[in-house]
Structures are given as structure tokens and as C-alpha cells.
Amino acid sequence: MRFSVWQLVLSTAFLLFTACSEQKKPQAEQSQAAISASSTDTVATTPATPARPDTTYVQDVAAYLAGQRVSRHSNLQALTVQPAWQTFAADANKSWSNYHATRTSKIEAWARTELDAVRAASSTIFYPFSGPDLLNAVTMFPDSKTYVLLGLEPVGSVPRPSLLENPKLYPAVKASLWSVLNFSFFRTNDMAVELTAGTSKHTSKAPADTTAAQAAKAAQLDGTLSLLLLFATRTGHQVQVVRYVQLDKQGQLIDADSTVIQKPSLKNVPGVEISMLNQAGVEQKVYYFSADISDWKMGINNDAVIKYAQSLGELTTYVKSATYLMHKPYFSKVRNLILERSNYILQDDSGIALKYFRPSDWELTYYGIYKRPINLFATYYQPAMTLAYADTINRPRPLPFGTGYNWRQHDSNLMLAHRQKPL
């Protein structure tokens, strides 16, 4: 975030004034007033406190990446009148309109009926193997206070203005979203491939072409944060604060700087915290951690992710398109964490294998249709699931949308596990 000296003086003075005269204003109203302030007659005489995060810029970046309108005085305003961005925005709006009509509306209608009680009891959503898929987490559980996402993808950073000006950005964003908008799961390599498509053509040429190669490399979005911001604004949220964080070996959440985020050590787990307001003005927080959560990898950092998750209290766990990793013996730590700390688990068949759910502990409700996994994961077929879905007494309930690897509407499955005795 960048501030001029004059902006800092003005913001500090205005905050001092409003702190004295408007103590009874709602916090959200005070924040909006501070953001929109453009002048004041008071000059601060005390040392400046640490600069407030430039929430306007972060929200504008989120909107810009999403193909939505930025604030009136944003530095990005000039870019949004360019034909390339306007074409990108029109295409994005068309794609999102189709997505909401074919998926969001169906998920919301289904969840109002099937997840009503679950939502009310789901303050914290734990979503392992998610990548940057805030979209589905918020759609399923719109009123939760905290969302904790885990993936292998790096955290990344808020895109710089030079990157936002790069015309390669638009097709890259479109490519990165294509699979999640069409198939419900996210493919992380689409964006990198699109952004670096021209680089290899220049690698063997004369030094005169080095600039082009460097420019292409510099255009890369460096992690999940850009997409998290995009999903936040496309789900009707206003981004307030972005903060880099990390988990130490005790599983404590502490601040991190950009160096830790870009080049994390094996002993710490890099992450990001996003504070956002929903349409009702209620603050929600999103945490994304870049972590390999296999048993032996977590052993390197003293099971920091497990310790952190245990500190969150009761969980509702959401799992889909998880490559069946928790079927394997060497993902036992995260599997046991979920089974021990969750009151509810909503998952497709790629999550925790059915054999790990003790009937004495869990009430299971099945939705949709269970078919064999796609060929890539054929070895993870579960005969017990076939039997469960064939039960004529407790028949599976309808699932009016597609999800997971068998993404077509009439091929998909979900299972809701409800702990018999709440934690």
C-alpha cells in the first residue's frame, strides 16, 4: 500500500477529529467516513500512529480483477475506460450471470432447506485442500464469521499497478476462473500458463528480447490472494483489510512481512488474513494458509496447522475435489483433526472415506448420486458408498446442482455428517 505525506497527515487529522466528536457512531460508519475524507483544517501535532490500511485501494483492486466498477477517485479508474478492460468486464459479467443462474441460485435454494440448522451452528468453516475457492465456501455458508482455507498454492500479494496495467492480465484471469465457474473446482495452473505463454518464445533469442521475457514474467499473479479478493467482491463483500500472517511452531497466528510470505521457511506456515464486510455490514474474516498438510510435511513445522485448527473451537468442515488424499494413511493427522473437532462435515466422496465414520458417532445424510470416481481416481471407488446410496429405507436426497470431479448435476454427490453428541 502506498501513501503520500499529505494523505497521511489528512487521514490522521481526520481520525483524531472524529474520535472525539463521533464516539457513538457505528464502527462501519466511522470507517466509511475516514475512507471518503478528502480535506480537513486540522493538522496533527502528535506523532502519527501506524498508517491505516488503504482499504479503498484493496477493494478497488478486487473490483477491477472481478470486472466490476471501482471507486470514483481510484487510480484504476483510467484503466477501466480502456476498451480491453471494458471487453474483459462485459465478458466477466456475462460469465458470472450465467454462473449465478445455473449454480448460485440452486445452491442457495438447496442450502436454505438442507443446511439451515448447519449454517446457524457454523461460526467457523474449515476448508482443507481448497486452494483459493472462497466462492463455494461463502455460497454454502454465507453467514459464518471465519473461513479457514488451506492449499499448496502460494499466498501471493495484492497486485501492483504495473501488473494491473498489463493486458495479459485479462485473459489470464478469465482462464483461471474457467474451471471453477464451469466445473465447480479450481485449477491453479491455468493462470500461470496464460501469463507466461509468450516467455518461452524469447528464451533462446538475443539479449534484445530479454525485456519482453522479463515483462511477461513480471506479469504473473504470484499466488491465491488475487483470486480471494476477486471472489470476495463477486460474492457481495467489501474488502476492508489484508494482513500477512504466519503460524509459528506452536500454531500461534502472528504477523508476517512480505519476505516471509514470498520466501517462507519450512518451520513457519505463511498465510493471509482478509477482513471483509458482507451486504449486511457484518465483518467476516478469511484465512488462507499455504501448507502441505501430509503427515510428514506437517511434522517439519511441529504440526502448526493442526494446533491452530484446534484453537478455533468447534468446526464445520467443507471438503470437495480433494483428490482423495484423506483416503490415504499419510493424511491421517488432518483426517483425525476433522473427525475430532467438527460438529458437521459436508463433503463429496473425495473427502474422508466412509469407513472412518463410526455409526455411533455420526448421523449421515446422502445427497445426489454416487458413481465411480473419474478414471484418474478410479482406485478410490467405495463399494460401501454404493450400498449406502442403494438404501431404499433412507434414500439419498436430491442434489439440484453439480459439484466435485463428477461435476454434472445428475452425477454428483454430497454427504452431510452430523455428530451425534455435539462437542
Alpha-carbon distances, residue 73 vs 56, 161, 241 (angstroms): 10, 15, 19
Give 377-401 pLDDT, tens digit per residue: 999 999 999 999 999 999 999 999 9
pLDDT at 12: 42
Name the strands in the sheet holding 253-255, side by side, starting at the edge strand that comes first in the sequence.
253-255, 238-247, 269-277, 283-290, 146-151, 124-127, 315-319, 342-347, 413-419, 362-368
pLDDT, average across residues 193-201:
35
pLDDT band at 23 (very low <50, low <70, confident <90, very high): very low
Is residue 38 scored above 60 in pLDDT?
A: no
pLDDT, average across residues 271-279:
97
Residue 63: CB atoms within 10 Å: 24
Cα torsion 287, 130, 196, 239: sign:
negative
Strands 342-347 and 146-151: unpaired
Specify the residue for cell string 517462507. Answer: 264
Give 356-377 pLDDT, tens digit per residue: 999 999 999 999 999 999 999 9
pLDDT band at 215 (very low <50, low <70, confident <90, very high): very low
pLDDT at 4: 44
pLDDT at 220: 63
pLDDT band at 330 (very low <50, low <70, confident <90, very high): very high
Residue 342: CB atoms within 10 Å: 24
Q: How many whole angstroms separate alpha carbon 70 and alpha carbon 318?
A: 32
pLDDT at 97: 94
Give 91-137 pLDDT, tens digit per residue: 999 999 999 998 999 999 999 999 999 999 999 999 999 999 999 99
Residue 189: CB atoms within 10 Å: 10
pLDDT at 168: 87
Give 138-189 pLDDT, tens digit per residue: 999 999 999 999 999 999 999 988 899 998 899 888 888 877 777 666 554 5
- The DSSP-derived string for 201-229 is GGTTS-GGGHHHHHHHHHT---SSHHHHH
Specify the residue for cell string 463483500. Answer: 237
Q: How many whole angstroms separate alpha carbon 250 and alpha carbon 269?
A: 11
Query: Across-strand partners of 368?
Result: 413
Instruction: Give the cell for residue 206.
Output: 538475443
pLDDT at 178: 79
Specify the residue for cell string 491453479. Answer: 188
Helix, strand or coil, per DSSP, at residue 272: strand
Q: How many whole angstroms separate alpha carbon 108 and alpha carbon 184?
A: 15
Identify which of 25-39, 70-84, 150-164, 332-346 has the greatest average pLDDT: 332-346
Query: Across-strand partners of 415?
Result: 347, 366
Residue ranges covered by each domain of the chain:
5-52, 77-419
- pTM (2 d.p.): 0.81
> Number of C-alpha atoms within 13 angstroms, CB side, residue 192?
9
Give 407-417 pLDDT, tens digit per residue: 887 899 999 99
Is residue 236 scored above 50 in pLDDT?
A: yes
Q: How many whole angstroms separate alpha carbon 124 and alpha carbon 141?
A: 9
Tell me what percent of the residues of the chain surpass a pLDDT of 70.
78
More confident residue, 65 or 7: 65
- The dihedrals phi and psi of 367, each to the nearest 5 degrees, come to -130, 145
Specify the residue for cell string 449454480. Answer: 103
Helix, strand or coil, per DSSP, at residue 253: strand
What is the average pLDDT score of the chain? Answer: 83
pLDDT, average across residues 220-239:
92
